């Protein structure tokens, strides 16, 4: 009986092991199915949540606009009670219709706009918009709205009917300025400035003074979005002809040291590149780590750059003759003042060049100390 009992015991253990393994497999399958379903449903739930937030925001904005229009009726009317009901009679014929903000020619359906400052005539209520611009001052997560994207519904007539770009007509753009980086030209003798470029960053003159090179937004893109959004353009001031340099994505702030060559910094890898206008090709120049700012020398022979190298900040310059990089001065950890007037499109720490070729910088001499003040009020 001993061997028989041993044989039966071995079968029972094998059967038990198979049952346990089957349960393990079953639990694993259920767990995988649960997490797979959760993973697939989470984006849908997040999308529904975000849609609810958008709907709530849109409804709140609409309520604000309707409330402003009602208040405008009250401000421009004389209330009269008839049979217990209040009737508002306009104080003048002009108050019978809503006051228009901007009054852009060619956009008769424009009543209100989100702009600051909003010089709305009485009895209208001015916009509550922030002075921060939604196109050139992206949000903390890099979001912004271009005029092309804004007018994708074609509520405002498009500016160029020969293209698919829905950017609005110039009259609307002038009524609702959305760029702090427009380029203007004004005669040395004075006069009215002439706008030649909308959103042109760091323009540089050609050696003959007849053209400009500048960083420009890719059509339909916005500042600091992911992917391709920045490129280099040139404009002939005599014909107003704009040319896009090929393969210039993510390059900006050009320097035009020679008639046949334009130099630009690459926002992606931190290198300077030269573009041969004859061969239409780019060539990588000096290797950098992170250039805080740069400026051309008064004689146009050098491009002075402020390099935030790991070993410490230093001033370098690139020769226009052969594009060789030279060290000029080591400024170490000198605290410099940044220009933040243009938000994320600001130029960073300022650098200039004196007439003798000496670099000039702005030094932050503040102490940044924190003080405590004890006050005993009477």
pLDDT tens by residue, 293-315: 888 898 889 999 888 777 778 89
Asked if residue 216 and residue 193 are part of one domain, the reply reads: yes
Q: Which residue has the tokens 């950098």?
A: 288
pLDDT of 300 reads 87
Question: Do 64 and 128 meet the contact criterion of CB atoms below 8 Å apart?
Answer: yes
Asked if residue 189 and residue 105 are part of one domain, the reply reads: no
Question: Do 212 and 235 meet the contact criterion of CB atoms below 8 Å apart?
Answer: yes
73's tokens = 């009726």
Asked if residue 231 and residue 266 are part of one domain, the reply reads: yes
Which structural domain, as residue segments, surrounds residue 157? 99-178
Taking the chain (378 residues) in runs of 10, the rounded mean pLDDT of each run is: 55 80 89 82 76 82 85 89 88 84 72 73 78 63 69 76 74 57 84 82 89 82 60 91 88 88 83 91 76 84 84 86 88 74 55 87 75 74
Question: Do 216 and 199 meet the contact criterion of CB atoms below 8 Å apart?
Answer: yes
pLDDT of 341 reads 47
Report the helix count and the strand count for the chain, using DSSP H and E.
3, 20
In a domain, 366, yes or no: no
Asked if residue 133 and residue 184 are part of one domain, the reply reads: no
In a domain, 270, yes or no: yes
In a domain, 303, yes or no: yes
Asked if residue 274 and residue 231 are part of one domain, the reply reads: yes
Last residue of a domain, one of 145, 160, 178: 178
In a domain, 131, yes or no: yes
In a domain, 373, yes or no: no
Asked if residue 259 and residue 350 are part of one domain, the reply reads: yes
Asked if residue 254 and residue 131 are part of one domain, the reply reads: no
* Residue 336 β-bridge partners: 363
pLDDT of 226 reads 53
| DSSP reduced 3-state for 211 | strand
Last residue of a domain, one of 160, 178, 196: 178
Q: Which residue has the tokens 């990588």?
A: 284
Asked if residue 103 and residue 83 are part of one domain, the reply reads: no
Assign residue 189 the CATH number of its domain.
2.120.10.30
CA distance 340 to 323: 30
Asked if residue 199 and residue 333 are part of one domain, the reply reads: yes
pLDDT of 342 reads 43
pLDDT of 263 reads 92
pLDDT of 344 reads 42
| DSSP reduced 3-state for 111 | coil
In a domain, 327, yes or no: yes
Last residue of a domain, one of 154, 178, 202: 178
Asked if residue 220 and residue 315 are part of one domain, the reply reads: yes
In a domain, 37, yes or no: no
In a domain, 296, yes or no: yes
- Find the angle CA(27)-CA(32)-CA(33) to the nearest 5 degrees: 95
Asked if residue 198 and residue 322 are part of one domain, the reply reads: yes
Domain count, the chain: 3
Asked if residue 153 and residue 256 are part of one domain, the reply reads: no
């Amino acid at each position: 009986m001993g061997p028989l009992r041993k044989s039966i015991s071995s079968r029972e253990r094998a059967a038990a092991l198979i049952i346990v393994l089957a349960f393990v497999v079953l639990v694993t399958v259920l767990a995988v199915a649960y997490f797979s379903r959760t993973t697939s449903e989470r984006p849908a739930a997040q999308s529904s949540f975000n849609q609810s937030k958008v709907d709530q925001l849109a409804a709140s904005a609409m309520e604000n606009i309707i409330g402003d229009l009602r208040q405008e009726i009250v401000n421009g009317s004389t209330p009269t009670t008839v049979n217990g009901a209040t009737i508002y009679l306009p104080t003048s014929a002009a108050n019978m219709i809503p006051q228009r903000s901007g009054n852009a020619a060619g956009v008769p359906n424009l009543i209100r706009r989100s702009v600051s400052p909003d010089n709305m005539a009485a009895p209208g209520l001015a916009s509550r918009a922030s002075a921060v611009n939604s196109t050139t001052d992206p949000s903390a997560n890099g979001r912004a709205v271009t005029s092309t994207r804004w007018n994708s519904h074609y509520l405002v007539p498009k500016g160029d009917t020969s293209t698919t770009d829905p950017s609005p007509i110039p009259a609307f753009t002038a009524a609702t300025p959305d760029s702090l980086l427009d380029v203007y030209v004004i005669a040395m003798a004075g006069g009215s400035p002439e706008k030649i470029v909308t959103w042109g960053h760091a323009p540089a003159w050609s050696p003959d003074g007849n053209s400009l090179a500048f960083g420009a937004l890719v059509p339909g893109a916005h500042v600091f979005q992911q992917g391709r959004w920045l490129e280099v353009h040139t404009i002939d001031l005599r014909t107003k002809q704009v040319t896009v340099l090929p393969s210039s994505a993510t390059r900006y702030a050009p320097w035009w040291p020679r008639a046949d060559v334009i130099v630009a910094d690459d926002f992606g890898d931190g290198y300077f590149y030269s573009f041969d206008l004859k061969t239409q090709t780019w060539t990588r120049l000096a290797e950098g780590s992170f250039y805080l700012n740069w400026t051309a020398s008064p004689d146009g022979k050098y491009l002075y750059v402020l390099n935030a190298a790991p070993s410490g900040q230093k001033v370098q310059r690139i020769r226009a003759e052969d594009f060789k990089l030279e060290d000029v001065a080591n400024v170490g950890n000198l605290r410099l003042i940044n220009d933040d007037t243009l938000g994320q499109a600001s130029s960073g720490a300022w650098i200039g060049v004196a007439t003798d070729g000496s670099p000039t910088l702005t030094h932050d001499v503040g102490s940044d100390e924190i003080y405590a003040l004890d006050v005993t009020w009477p």
